[in-house]
Amino acid sequence: MPWDADDLATIGGAEELQVSSVRPDGTDRPFVTIWGVRAGDDLYIRSAYGPDNPWYRRARRAGIGRIRADVVDRPVSFTAVDAGDEATQQAVDAAYHAKYDRFGPQIVGTVTGPASHETTLRLDPR
């Protein structure tokens, strides 16, 4: 199921997103604030500090959760993107640079480039 155009615009345009994964008992974990981008008609998030970041590990393990941005609050699936999918990874890098470069290369560098590609998750509506 594709994103609704309004949700795609709102979530993709939000400065920050809040993400929550689902616990094994089905309850939502507390939200964590992160950066996210839109590339084409898809939404992506990455772990700024690699695959050991707790929110990222929980999202990968659960596979489902919620995303909030502005007034939008939606259930999502977290779909891992192959680090070798060069076209997608480059599009996501470009989207992060376009949206966040004003914060400086040290900060944007935590979510761009080859080291960050292994933590790319696509947000799919569910």
> Token pair 């891992």 is at which residue?
80
pLDDT at 1: 74
pLDDT at 105: 87
pTM above 0.85, yes or no: yes
pLDDT at 39: 97
pLDDT at 40: 95
pLDDT at 106: 87
In this prediction, the residues of the chain whose per-residue pLDDT falls under 50 are: none
